Structure 1
Amino acid sequence: MTTWLNFLKEQGADLAEDNGIPSIAFSANAADETARTNFVTPLVHFGLITATGEDAASFLHNQLTNDVTHLTDNQARLAGYCSPKGRMMASFLIWKEGDRIVLQIPREIQAPVQKRLSMFILRSKAKLTDATEELVALGLAGPAAASALLPWFPELPLAILDKITSDAGTVIRQANAFGIPRYQWITTPQRAIEAWPHLTSVLQPAGSDAWKLAEIDGGIPHITTSTQEKFVPQMINFELIGGVNFKKGCYPGQEIVARSQYLGKLKRRMMHATVEVDKIVPGTEIFAADDPDQPCGMVVNAARANAQQTDCLVEIKLAATEGAVHLGSATGPVLNFQPLPYELTDPV
């Protein structure tokens, strides 16, 4: 167990692992409702990869769905990594930090994705390194987040995915959730340990579900083990949230992703739904009542909202949303669809 995780355990955190992937909860602050505002949570379910070397940017540019060569020092970007068939094998948040590029990825797929990317470096002057123990990420949400960060960041980034880097680390503005601002602070374990008492005097400590629930409300999908190679980016709205650049050069699967964008109307999209169950596993299939013999989509991500309800992002045939849709089988719990914070526009 790392120094950071040991510290959190000493602070009352309940740590759990699923196939080596940590999750966190704070039973002392447990409530029927998952925290939605004025909270801080250690983002232990994400891993971090650093890319270094003079060819690092061009190498990643040729592998990912977004522009990396023109990534500036004051912004972050979403990006996907696709198979040759255009299906997403990973989703990232990426940013520059000095002479290196940092990639944040769900922890459960970090190792195989990092290994696969490394296979294609070949003669490029680039190196990928696991930075999960070197850096830690904290998620902060709510109006009080600004005052919590004030001792280290007198000014905060205003636009979504803008970033500020200082000696205290990097702060990235995240998409709003539940109508409130959110930030990530990426820093060293020692800095995070020193900052924790102040942060938790202003914000309530919260578990992994708080950030996952906020991402779902913000319509931000994450590829996990059970959903790798299931979706072309547009099927989970990835181009709508800035994860795909259609003007950049080639990358694996680029032709198929472009064809999905420019040929015809999309028949599948990602929707936000609530279900009256206490837990949902990503990859669970969903079924339309009027076509019970075959799934009409699957769960992308899910998080506990309260003791009776789970929120989820589901990829689904748009035609199926006109009737009842059920979780797990045609007789399973009913999905109640919720609005997304962005419009589901058709490709042009």
Structure 2
Amino acid sequence: MTDNLPNHFTLPDTGLLRLQGADAETFAQSQFANDVAALAPGQWQWSCWLNAKGRVLDVFALARLAEGDLLLILPDGGAQALGQALQRFVFRRKVRLALDLRPVSGHFGAATGAAGNQLAISDDEVIELDWGSSTLPRTLRIGAGADLAADDPAACRSWQQADLRLGLPRLTAQQRETWTAQQLGLDRLQGYSVRKGCYPGQEIVARTHFLGKAKRATVLLHGVAPDITAGSAVLAGEREIGQLACVAPPYALAVLPLERDEQTLLVAGSAVQAQPLVEGLLR
């Protein structure tokens, strides 16, 4: 998948949002689904922002750079829109939300300083994250040097395909507020907490977790045609059993019933194959 790709390439769709101030952690803890208080400075986690019905609005990495200094890394962009939406809930808290305009780049290969959920931050504030696994190593880089990376659409497509293979959802605007955190498989990434206390959608997440009512889950499909888009139906025989949540042909993540017949799966009349997700992106 990475043959003939540049060693270092831009990720122009990735957005960055900075939360700074004495109440940054408290504010993030009240809004985002994961346990921000569990992060030490220099660590990061997967997280998401949900609506009141427990549907996913955004999936992102949340890094704690220092006390009172958080960085959201949004693979699907939308940092400005998310910042504006969050601003409505700041009230009197001492937290400042601002776009971070530093360049972001990707590299297929192991990180040199970062590992797991540990960041590598250089003296000139270049940030490196381990964005992959032992079987699919990748590095995400923020800051100086990333602006020298190549612009390469093919590399970006391979990066997004790798996201899906590792079980990281990539949501278009049309797919936001459609799926629950469990349906998108964010439990595999430890992307939410069921014990930390209140946040938007927490009741739905906790009820599904503790009562075992999740009936659908994320399945990686291969063989999706280039013209297929998210939201397309998945059929078993002639019966629709689910939809594609995100697509990076020939891969897609579909939300399908946990219990289903072993029939041929079809998308737009063509057969697709279910494949195991690549392990190792849990943080």
Structure 2 SS opposite 1:251: coil
Distance in 2, Cα, partners of 1:245 & 1:35: 38
3-state DSSP of counterpart to 2:270: coil
Q: Which blocks of at least 5 consecutive residues in structure 1 are unaligned? A: 1-32, 147-154, 305-309, 344-348
Partner of 2:162: 214
Note if contact 1:45-1:208 (Cα within 8 Å) is conserved in structure 2: no
User: Residue type matched to 1:296 in 2?
Assistant: I
Count of aligned pairs between the two proteins:
277
Q: Is 1:161 matched up with 2:130?
A: no
| Structure 1 match to 2:81 | 112
The answer as to 2:211 corresponding to 1:243 is no
**2:53 equivalent in structure 1:** 85
The Cα offsets for residues 253-300 of structure 1, whole Å up to 9 and x where unpaired, read as 101100111112532000111125123322223222242xxx422222
Which one of 16, 19, 28 corresponds to residue 48 of structure 1? 16
TM-score normalised to the size of structure 1?
0.73
| Bigger proportion of residues as helix | 1
- Once the two structures are TM-superposed, the CA of residue 342 in structure 1 deviates from its matched residue by 4.3
Q: 1:321 to 1:210 in 2, by over 3 A?
A: farther
Find 1:174's aligned residue among 118, 126, 131: 131
Matched residues in 2 for 1:272 and 1:205: separation? Answer: 23
Indicate conservation of the 8 Å contact 2:105/2:141, yes or no: yes
Q: Which runs of 5+ in 2 are unaligned?
A: none
How is 1:137-152 mapped onto 2 (pairs within 5 angstroms)? 137-142=104-109
Alpha-carbon distance change, 35 to 263 in structure 1, aligned in 2, over 3 angstroms: farther
Cα pair distance change 1:36/1:240, threshold 3 Å: farther
- Distance in 2 (CA, whole Å) between partners of 1:115 and 1:205 is 29
Looking at structure 1, the residues matched to 122 and 266 of structure 2 have their Cα atoms a distance apart, in angstroms, of 48
How large is the Cα RMSD of the aligned pairs?
2.5
Name the CA shift for 1:208/1:111 in 2 (closer, same or farther; >3 Å): same
Distance in 2 (alpha carbons) for counterparts of 1:171 and 1:299: 31
Q: 1:108 to 1:174 in 2, by over 3 A?
A: closer
* Equivalent position SS for 1:237: coil
Aligned counterparts of 1:335 and 1:265: Cα–Cα separation in 2: 27
**Offset, 1:235:** 0.6
Matched, 1:327 2:267: yes
Q: For residue 73 of structure 1, give the secondary structure of its aligned residue in structure 2.
A: coil
Matches within 5 A, 1:179-218: 179-188=135-144, 191-193=145-147, 196=149, 207-218=155-166
Relative to structure 1, the CA distance from residue 39 to residue 327 in structure 2 (aligned partners, 3 Å threshold; closer, same or farther) is farther
Q: Using the TM superposition, give the Cα deviation of residue 327 of structure 1 relative to its aligned residue in structure 2, in angstroms.
A: 1.4
Of the three residues 127, 145, 165, the one matched with 2:96 is 127
TM normalised by structure 2 equals 0.88
Cα displacement (A) at 1:180: 3.0
| Identical columns (%) | 27
Q: CA–CA distance in 2 between the matches of 1:114 and 1:283?
A: 26
Q: Is the 8 A contact 1:106 1:224 kept in 2?
A: no
What does residue 311 of structure 1 align with? Answer: 251
